[in-house]
Structure 1
Amino acid sequence: MTKQPAGHLWWQRGVIYQIYPRSFQDSNGDGVGDLRGIRSRLDYLVDLGIDAIWLSPIFPSPMADFGYDVADYCDIHPLFGTLADFDALVADAHRRNLKVILDFVPNHTSDQHPWFIESRSSRDNPKRDWYIWRDPAPDGGPPNNWLSYFGGSAWEYDATTGQYYLHLFLKEQPDLNWRNPQVQAAMLDVMRFWLDRGVDGFRVDVMWLMIKDAQFRDNPPNPAWKPGMMPHMRILEAWSADQPEVHQIVAMMRRVLDSYDERMMVGEIYLPYDRLMHYYGTPESPEAHLPFNFALVLLPWDAHTIAQTIAAYEALLPPHGWPNWVLGNHDQPRIASRVGEAQARVAAMLLLTLRGTPTMYYGDEIGMRNVPIPPDRVQDPFEKNVPGEGHGRDPQRTPMQWDASEYAGFSKVQPWLPLADDYRQRNVAAQRNAPHSMLSLYRRLLTLRRSEPALSIGSYQAIAVEGDDTARQSVLAFVREVNGCRFLVALNFASHPARLSLTTIGEGTIALSTHLDRGGSTVQGDLELRADEGVIIALAP
């Protein structure tokens, strides 16, 4: 084990694990996961080797969008438990040296939030300007052409007051007016409420959408749009997203976090790298600690494309910016479904050896896949609004597969979403003591990452691959280094073998293979990578 250098914070050294609370563990037999269920599984997470859990929304909500429509920012939905249950979870997690990150949803509330009920009651209500209201267009239609992410117009007419309100998602999710200082003050107080309860940070939902164009100009058409793309992509979000003033808001949030010890903020931002980097802010006015980097979720799975993207990302990072990577989340298809089980092992090694903070998605560590959802079991409002387009998110939100018992150890009753057909074979209990399982691979990767600072905080250097045709076309290689300790990571994205020349890199010892069967082997000259194999090599000094 290499000595851990000082100077890096927990969120730079550590690994974040996203929990979708509805689907992690049911403790009370209602078919839905809850906080007490999460508490009961904390030892599993410690044994796995992660450092922080991020909880998708657990606030009171009508559940039009499963918690992303918040009706009260300072309480817990009874489905998940109580504030006392939350406090107990935080205390238990902290006793185990686990951090707790909450999902914060500042762009919009539920239409059942008391603020919106007041806002829509009359045009002269004191909270009218807490939301975004506009007069109809001259023809009586919506004020402009902005589109909802969930299909249709982003404007909903309210007959009571004769105006439209903006909702970039469901009509049950009206957008807050972040240009209003009262909204700013109220929402920053929400952050303080949870920070005072011991929360270690926030994942901020749709951070780049929080401010809209003050003139509400029409968005231009998207010339690249074609059928099958997301409905809102018919237009380019020139005026409804990523407005310059949003950075003032994010900096405001950061100042709140910086008034506490070692708290952090992850921003959900789907933007090209050149625009994403602005969300780090500047050293004088810092913003998000980690603007989410979704490249590995969205890119084609090939070595050349990913190598180029890593290089572009590293080159654009500001000097004060810390990188991060993610393979999947509650909105995106699971990695094992996207790239297949063999390459999902390669993806795990990539995620946990790249420079920066990795975020794992629950169940990926056992190779969970998207689960087909019968039409009568569909829950996701996106799928209901735009049926048949394949945009539904239920398949990647299905219950965690703990064991081979009737409901996979998740619940004693039928869960809110169907279980995978193979859950009796693919589960934690089956994989825990199986040396070549996906779970064993993740545990060894996480153990090695924690014990070797080069793999968590070391520098990153891309390696020009030399070798046979497969190696040059399908192998991604890089070196991680700290204090003279170097590791070579070589990943074969092909389903056939590759021979890699190490003559310019040096010799070393295999610390870990995705195939889990040749640790300790010495390599020099050439490295033979088998089909779908990744290796981590401790290079000789």
Structure 2
Amino acid sequence: MDQFSEQPATRVIEQGFSIERKWWHTSTVYQIYPRSFVDSNGDGIGDIPGIASKLDYLKALGVGVIWLSPIYASPMDDNGYDISDYQDIAPEFGTLADFDHLVAEARRRDIGVLLDLVVNHTSDEHPWFIEARKSIDNPYRDFYIWRRPGADGGFPNRLKSSFGGPAWTLDPETGEYYLHLFSRRQPDLNWENPKVRAEIYKMMNWWLERGIAGFRMDVIDYIGKKVDQEIVKDGPHLHDYLQEMHRETFGSRNVLTVGETWSATPGSALLYSGKDRRELSMIFQFEHVTQQWDEKFGKWRPKPFDLVRLKSVLSKWQYALSEDGWNSLFWGNHDLPRAVSKYGNVTGYHMESAKMLATVLHLMKGTPFIYQGEEIGMTNVPFTKIEQYRDIETLNMHRLHVEAGYSPEDFLRGANENGRDNARTPMQWSAAPHGGFTTGVPWIEVNANYPKINAESAMTDENSVWNHYRKLIALRKKHPVIVYGLYQSWLDQHPDIFVYSRTLKGDRLVVMANFTPRPISLTIPDELQVCGECLISNYSPVTELCEGVELRAYEAFAILCKAPAK
């Protein structure tokens, strides 16, 4: 019986409350951006056979699940998040046979495949939308959201697209506007129509029956929108739809479901993931990301890094889901900058800060997510011209911000720090041309530092970032205190040091990290004066904390104090 088969429920008692064990509690998820992972045929675009060729690499790292960004048929206006056929594969990525082979080979290595479920919107080339725009009485018209022009003949209301500009586009054939909360080529589906929901559930079951391990759900907090009230996120029927989805699709299956929810708060998180809610396994929340954005210019004018604020957000979520629900743990994804560039130091302490960030994240309570290349310390790419970018959001926002008076130089600095293409440059496999990603011309430039930062060299270096990640993944499988231990933060107002502990049945884990490039002397509170086994460190092992300690630049370590044997 593998981990994805149906298993009897078991429970663990933690600090007086009960948690049902799930296979994904001890797993680590690895996100793959297929276009940028491995190109097997030299066309410059990553593909499914390329992913299959690296399954042994992923097995060696220790991951239990791979999440694929969309691989469905698509005109690629938004790199696959605009789907024209939910039950076919984009030709540049391969075929359904390639996908079935990937699932089977991954499962043989005890790795599940998580698909990206994009059901807030489709492509404007989806057959449903092609039919819908033919006439106002077409049977598929109500699959999407249409409104007549406003009283002044303009837009129906003030809703804006997340990619810039109005969320409405006029269809000249019928004289009505359709809603698109992202690109104009991504019309929003009408979830109030039960026929839409039935088609989506049918499609989801089709994929589940092919043996996938679950779904990551793109902007799932948008599906309950109430357009006429200008409610986009957290609409009144959102959780009704998710509970219906649970009943009609994955509820009886032993799979992982993760919702992308930019609007979630600690107060609403349990509505999605509480054990009695019958909705999702967990959600992605982004408060630790958005609290670093400027109030006016958003991520294009980032705020200075503030560790106290970051600790406050991460700890708040740990506490909120301590007795129910489950946290997702991540620094980056396909929409976010590279973790070591954002939170670490790539100029003087690249390896040390990358390991530090991994240690802090992976020893918290929740399921860790690694974004491809994070495990080797890949960095942001310093593009010098807007023409080097490929991301539709970045290009649209550049035009709008410059038109509004934001200088092109300032925008480029913001894009270099926070733009989505930072995460989308090709995976750096070796020192070969284009980082070993392709024998052709890559669809987007490879980061120039690939001769030094690549998987081939990392795997042969005992002290590499890759091997540090491998150790952290293995520790989660070995020590229940990492999986289920109670979280407690310490020294919350310290501007440079992150300290927390995890406790379970007498075992205690203390994690300490320096987020600066300078040594920090720290007085240790009585409650943290411990000795035991150093599970992991990015310098020499630390086995005890006495009255004081000096942490070196970006030093991080974890000490485990085991309960006395009975």
TM-score (norm 1): 0.89
Structure 1 residues 92 and 360, CA gap change in structure 2 (3 angstroms): same
3-state SS of 1:208 partner: helix
User: Who is 1:458 aligned against?
Assistant: 485
CA shift in 2, pair 1:140/1:489, >3 Å: same
**Cα separation, 2, equivalents of 1:12 and 1:261:** 16
Q: Distance in 1 between matches of 2:495 and 2:158?
A: 44
CA distance in 2 between counterparts of 1:155 and 1:472 reads 47
Does residue 311 (structure 1) correspond to residue 315 (structure 2)? The answer is yes
How far apart, CA to CA, are the structure 2 residues paired with 1:92 and 1:355?
A: 30
Please show how residues 435-450 of structure 1 align to structure 2 within 5 Å: 435-450=462-477
- Partner in structure 2 of residue 386 of structure 1: 397
Q: Work out whether 1:335 is the aligned partner of 2:339.
A: yes
Q: Distance in 1 between matches of 2:446 and 2:191?
A: 40
Q: Return closer, same or farther for 1:297/1:10 CA change in 2, 3 Å cut-off.
A: farther
Segment drifting more, 275-284 vs 398-407: 275-284
Q: From 192, 204, 210, give the equivalent of 2:217.
A: 204
Q: 1:257-289 CA distances to partner (integer Å, 9 max, x unpaired)?
A: 444431121001112524541542654432221
Report matched runs for 1:65-214 at 5 Å: 65-213=78-226
Q: Which structure 2 residues correspond to residues 199-348 of structure 1 after superposition, within 5 A?
A: 199-213=212-226, 216-217=228-229, 219=230, 239-274=231-266, 276-280=268-272, 283-300=275-292, 301-317=305-321, 319-339=323-343, 340=345, 341=350, 342-348=352-358
CA 1:319 to 1:521, structure 2 compared with 1: closer, same or farther past 3 Å?
closer
Stretch of structure 1 that moved more, 253-262 or 101-110? 253-262
1:149-188 CA distances to partner (integer Å, 9 max, x unpaired)? 1111100001101100000011110000000000000001
SS at match of 1:308: helix
Give 1:317 deviation, angstroms: 2.8
Shift of 1:208: 1.0
Pairwise CA distance, 1:297: 3.5
The question of whether the paired residues in 1 share the 8 Å contact of 2:482 and 2:502 is answered with yes
C-alpha displacement of 1:525: 4.0
Evaluate the alpha carbon distance shift between residue 520 and residue 147 of structure 1 in structure 2; reply closer, same or farther with a 3 A threshold.
closer
Partner residue of 2:514 out of 492, 501, 504: 492
Q: Distance in 2 between matches of 1:479 and 1:81?
A: 46
**Cα distance in 2, alignment partners of residues 56 and 104 from structure 1:** 9
Secondary structure of 2:513's match? strand
Provide the residue aligned with 1:366 in structure 2.
376
Structure 2 counterparts to residues 521-540 of structure 1, below 5 A: 521-539=543-561
What residue in structure 1 maps to residue 297 of structure 2? none
Corresponding residue number in structure 2 for 1:421 = 448
Q: CA deviation at 1:88?
A: 0.6
Moved more, 308-317 or 403-412: 308-317
User: Deviation at 1:50?
Assistant: 1.3
CA distance in 2, matches of 1:33, 1:439: 22
Using the TM superposition, give the Cα deviation of residue 345 of structure 1 relative to its aligned residue in structure 2, in angstroms: 2.5
Cα deviation, residue 514, structure 1: 4.1
Listed one character per residue, the Cα deviations across residues 385-407 of structure 1 (whole Å, up to 9, x for unaligned) are 22254454222201000100112
Q: Which residue of 2 aligns with 1:233?
A: none
Q: Which runs of 5+ in 2 are unaligned?
A: 1-9, 13-19, 293-304, 399-407
Aligned to 1:447, the other structure's residue is in SS state helix
RMSD over aligned CA atoms reads 2.2
Amino acid at match of 2:395: K
Distance apart, 1:518 and its partner CA: 1.9
Q: Look up the SS of the partner of 2:178 in the other structure.
A: strand
Q: Secondary structure at the match of 1:183?
A: helix
Q: Secondary structure at the match of 2:433?
A: coil
Deviation at 1:332, TM superposition (A): 1.0
Letter in 1 for 2:507: C
Q: How big is the shift at 1:125?
A: 0.5
Q: Compared with structure 1, are the counterparts of its residues 17 and 296 closer, same or farther at alpha carbon in structure 2 (3 Å cutoff)? A: farther
Q: Which amino acid aligns with 1:504?
A: E
Which whole-Å deviations, capped at 9, do the CAs of 1:352-381 have from their partners, x for residues lacking one?
Answer: 011111111110111111113444443211
Q: Is the 8 A contact 2:37 2:46 kept in 1?
A: yes
Report the residue type matching 1:410 in the other structure. F
Unaligned runs of 5+ in 1: 220-238, 466-470
8 A contact 2:74–2:84 mirrored in 1? yes
Work out whether residues 61 and 470 of structure 2, in 8 Å CA contact, stay in contact via their aligned partners in 1: yes
Which residue identity lines up with residue 343 of structure 1 in the other structure?
A: S
CA contact (8 A) 2:319 2:487 kept: no
Q: Deviation per CA, 1:201-230, whole angstroms, max 9, x where unpaired?
A: 10100111112215x13x5xxxxxxxxxxx
Q: Distance in 2 between matches of 1:5 and 1:464?
A: 33
Partner of 1:395: 422
1:357 is matched with 367
Q: CA deviation at 1:309?
A: 1.9
Residue in 2 that maps onto 1:58: 71
Preserved contact between residue 254 and residue 265 of structure 1 (Cα < 8 Å): no
| Matching residue of 2:540 | 518
What is the match of residue 504 of structure 1? 527
- State the Cα deviation string for residues 78-126 of structure 1 (Å, max 9, x = none): 1111111111101111111111100000000000000000000001100
Farther off after superposition, 105-114 or 382-391: 382-391
Residue 236 of structure 1 is matched in structure 2 by none
Cα drift, residue 523 of structure 1: 4.5
Paired residue secondary structure (2:558): strand
Q: Distance in 2 between matches of 1:188 and 1:317?
A: 28
Deviation at 1:414, TM superposition (A): 1.8
Greater shift in the superposed pair: 406-415 or 521-530: 521-530
Q: Distance in 2 between matches of 1:343 and 1:325?
A: 18
In the TM superposition, what whole-angstrom CA distance separates every residue of 1:415-440 from its partner, at most 9, and x where no partner exists?
A: 11111111001101111122332112
Post-superposition shift, 1:251? 1.4
Counterpart in the other structure of 2:302: none
Give the one of 498, 503, 506 matched to 1:476: 498
The 2-side partners of 1:144 and 1:197 are apart by: 42
> What residue identity is the alignment partner of 1:273?
T
Q: SS at the partner of 1:431?
A: helix
C-alpha contact (below 8 Å) 2:114/2:215 kept by paired residues: yes
| Matches of 1:71 and 1:429, distance apart in 2 | 37
- Per-residue deviation at 1:526? 3.3
Answer whether contact 1:269 1:276 (CA < 8 A) is retained: no
Structure 1 residue matching 2:354: 3-state secondary structure = helix
Moved more, 479-488 or 162-171: 479-488
Q: 1:248–1:318: structure 2 CA closer, same or farther, 3 Å change rule?
A: farther
TM-score, structure 2 as length reference: 0.86
Match for residue 234 of structure 1?
none
Q: 1: distance between equivalents of 2:106 and 2:211?
A: 11
In 2, Cα distance between the equivalents of 1:447 and 1:527? 28
